[in-house]
Amino acid sequence: QLESLREELTTKLTSSNQEVEHLQDVLKKSEQSLSIAEGQISSLQETQEILQKELELTQAKLRETADSLYNVEGELNQERQHHEAMITTMREEEKLKLDRMARDLEIKWTENLRQECTKLRE
């Protein structure tokens, strides 16, 4: 009976030892996987920090570009208004010149006609 008990306990001990070895292997693999995962997490965090800095720089550049665009648009509008005012002034001046020339020509031709009429009457 003792021999039977010993064999049974030996079998259980062997089985338990195998289970312990199996669990140690599982633990070792889990620790390795955990170590790899920690490395990947660390790498991802570093990448995230780099990307965050790049994003902040890009946002700053975008703000600068938007400000520059706003300023250029303002300058362009001022230039456009200035040129439109110049064109309007030039048109008005040309119209005045044409009106003066037309009036001068009318006066000249009227005077010429008077002179011709006077000559014809004489």
Instruction: Profile the chain (122 residues) by mean pLDDT over runs of 10 residues.
Output: 93 97 98 97 98 98 98 98 98 98 98 95 86
For 30, residues 6+ apart whose C-beta sits below 8 A from its C-beta are: none
| Displacement of CA 27 from its chain's centroid (Å) | 50
**pLDDT attached to residue 89:** 98
**pLDDT attached to residue 122:** 82
User: Would you kindly state where each structural domain of the chain is located, as residue ranges?
Assistant: 1-90
Give dist(CA 114, CA 120) in Å, integer. 10
